[in-house]
Structure 1
């Protein structure tokens, strides 16, 4: 499982796969930051040469030296493998002829060692090309992930925040869960959601919704209008995919939309699109945030009209926690669901400092993985947010930012 748990540090440069970034397996073969991938094949070469030199009669193991370039092909680069192939041939010639009056393996085994070195070098070329291709695909995936889950600066929009994201597919690195914060002149808006389904279609839908949220969340004064824009964009995207002939016409998304008004600190506006309501976590306990329930995004035709918006009070020491169904539907060995509210309540009762966003999402991550023994059935996201102390000036500054 590859967790993406962050306090959202400042954005890093996008990674690129260059010719030198081809030896991921060497990360385990380092001493004080230096690669020692050459050590195993070298030790094997020396061991075979010494063992053969100290044997007599017709028992010769020098031909085993053909294994050396094969080991190097799995651990070293192309040039390193070629060097070991040459060393293997040279060592074979030297050791095999050291005792001219005894049995010698001779030319046939030398040809075997030489052929093994050539084949090992070619195999290394194929392996390195595959690694470069895999690194390039990883870079593409990371770019997509940064689009859906873009890095958020600390204190963005006057909020302390932290997010945890785990993919059910450990190789995918990105899925249909999403979250973002958008500061603007009318306050700071937060969106957390989960697109139905998996694969690139779910990622595409998440990116579409986030693009709309980032624009509407900045420009629109009314949170209900932001919610309406999200619903309209979902309908347009479904029509678009249907026109392409893709079987995604029934795709929907559950989400929680939060609005922290610029002119009032002790409240939060909420819109729930078929999602689990947020939890308000404080040192004194955990409560479900009272929020009007609505249908998921994509089902507006079943309930026409503007989505319900509810303003609720929020204590200065309360942190809002939103999780996706990867958390709430995690099962243990007996098939019991993970009860996030109870687990968070126990954790906070034992240590009130766990209400801090970064610590809170770590608690949710660790206890979810422990509950399901690391076997996630769905993408898993937890996002925690609360107002920062003295955030008024920062919110006004964020309101002038178009990001």
Structure 2
């Protein structure tokens, strides 16, 4: 391959005071102001000033075990409501959230996301998830607890129904013809007539087709959601990243899709300062501020295994998921207490400690080697981590011709170079047995 052209894509998730388990105790964090409008609006506006593609309101990181102990603030605001607020104080940046296909219903969610897409001018993204994420559960008299297989099956039906609902209005269905007294061309609005295992939905949706056709769908790995258009990847090394990236592009071609119709962003948590020594000191501060129980509880949630019952000192417990993660991250030999402050590395996020110039070099190297199409920031500390990238790293990337100097489109699909998956059309479809 020759020298890579194009621009790096950037997105960011906001979660509490940051993604390091010791973040909220750091004096530079926004702890105590996490749920105030000014704090949340400022984060979104900073990301937009930095010309980021997407901001994700993340409320999935903190598990029930940690919330119950009161040792981590989390982001407790309902994400779609928050996105509505953020849409009112931004103009270009995309806005996304994970939503539960287990706790919610497809008609209601499709309507919410369509409304957000209209209110934001086509900037909405969603991650369909089988988790509950603290959402209020509806009463399932016949199936109070589904198996993972049933949740996955329900999610597939859920996303299919949502897509058909968005497509139940054709492009140009709203005509507002004053002369004839017709507001809607009824021939362009369709009943979907869905009857499935989990849902019965007649449709059409009670709101016109979203500006993007479909809100952008993102996922945490290509394998977890083969229909995701934006993939937030967590490889442990550049070699692994490049291999996964090449495989994904090949698979897209086999499926009859253009390779650039799916974008991959590498998860990155930068800890930056004016000198390497200062950055190392900041990283050490965050590790020292980590409550071991809180870190272990977070790690338990991320690895899907309860590690809180094991002693914190001495060798780590012989838990396969933890052993594999420690080996992949190059953190073998550390005690469970020491691993408690390394949750990001243990789950594949690239933790970079250094100066803005060094991070720009690192990002250029990964991008040039086709490790990804860009980077998804999980700031160790908020607002500090986002500020440093938006105000110091982005200008360096712009000077190198690696990042946009202005938004050239209005929708999230414009920013990412993604087509409308419906092509602006729809098929009426029939009854699904």
TM-score, length basis structure 1: 0.29
Please identify which structure carries the higher strand content: 1
**Highest Rg: 1 or 2?**
1
Please identify which structure carries the higher helix content: 1
Which protein has greater RCO, CA pairs closer than 8 Å, 6+ apart? 2
TM-score, length basis structure 2: 0.28
